[in-house]
Amino acid sequence: MSSDLSPIDRAKFFAARRATDYVENGMRVGLGTGSTAAWLVKCLGEMVRDDGLNIVGVPTSLQTATLARDVGITILSLDEARWLDLTIDGADEYDGNLNLIKGGGGALLQEKIVATASERMIVIADASKQVDTLGAFPLPVEVIPFGWQTTKTLVEEMLIGLDVMGRQSTLRMNGSQPFVTDEGNYILDLNLRRIGNAQQLSLVLNQAPGVVENGLFVDICDAVVIGYSNGKVEVRDINDGTTETGHIEIVEKDNLFSDISE
C-alpha cells in the first residue's frame, strides 16, 4: 500500500482488506463498483496471484469487469453464475439498520440485481458513510431516456406527502451531456435531505413509469466493514447483532494499490 494515500483512501483499503476474510476458495463473488470496491478487487487479485485463491467474480459494471480481468480474477456474467455466495460492495450511505443509499458511481441497477442474487451482501466503507437517517446523499434513480423529463415530474409529484425533507431532482450530467449508465439509461439524483421511511419510498418510486430502479437498498445488506485510516476495522453484523473490532497490519509487498484513485 502506498504510504502517501489520503486518510480516506487508507480507511477504504483497510475495510476492503478485512472483507477478503469472507471470501473462500470456490466461491462465486459479486464485485461492486466504485473507489472502495476497487480496493477489494485489487486485494482479491493479489490473493489470486500470490495465494492461489480460486474464485469466480461477477462484476457489477464494465469498469469493475475491466479491473477484475487486469488483476487476474476469472469473471462470469450473472446469467452464467446464476447464484452467488457473496457480494462485497461499497455504499454512499448506511444507517443503523444497514439500509443503504447506493448509485453514486452510476451502477445501482446491476449492483442491486447482483446483491439480491447472493447469499450474503457485505458493505465496505469508511466511517464517514454512516448516518443516523438516510438522505443527505442524493438518492440516485435510474430512468429510461425516453420521456425522462415527464418521469422527473412524476417522481417529484409522488414525493408529496412522503416522509422526506426535499423534493428537488436533477439529471446527472457527464460534462455537457447526460450521464449514461451501462444499460443506456439516465440517472435522476433526488435531493431529499432526509428519508423517514426508506422501504415505503423505494416501493413508491418504482411505481413511476420510466423508473427502472432506485438506489435504496433495504434489508439487503448483512454486514458492514468500516475502515479507519489507522488500520482499525469494525464489523457490524445485522443478523446476529454483533460488533467486532480489530486491526489490520500491512506488510509492504509490490505496490499493487498505487493506481487506485477516486
d(CA 97, CA 140): 20
Residue 104 labeled ligand binder: yes
Which of 68, 187, 91, 76 shows the shortest CA–CA distance to 137? 91
240's grid cell: 446476529
Residue 87 labeled ligand binder: no
Question: How many other CB atoms are found less than 10 A from the CB of residue 223?
Answer: 22
Classify residue 251 as exposed, middle or buried by CB count within 10 Å of its CB (0-12, 13-18, 19+).
Answer: exposed
Amino acid 20 reads T
Report helix, strand or coil for 134: coil
Specify the DSSP class assigned to residue 84.
Answer: B
Residue 34 labeled ligand binder: yes
Residue 105 labeled ligand binder: yes
Residue 91 labeled ligand binder: yes
> Which residues have a Cβ under 8 Å from the Cβ of 75 and sit 6 or more positions away?
31, 56, 57, 58, 59, 65, 68, 69
Residue 92 labeled ligand binder: yes
Listed in sequence order, the DSSP H helices in the chain are 7-19, 35-51, 62-70, 78-81, 108-116, 148-158, 198-205
Residue 90 labeled ligand binder: yes
Residue 36 labeled ligand binder: yes
Q: Spot the catalytic one: 46, 93, 111, 142.
A: 111
Question: How many other CB atoms are found less than 10 A from the CB of residue 56?
Answer: 16
d(CA 16, CA 124): 6
252 is catalytic: no
Q: Which residues are annotated as a binding site?
A: 33-36, 89-92, 102-105, 129
Q: Which residues are annotated as a binding site for substrate?
A: 33-36, 89-92, 102-105, 129
- Which residues are known to be catalytic? 111
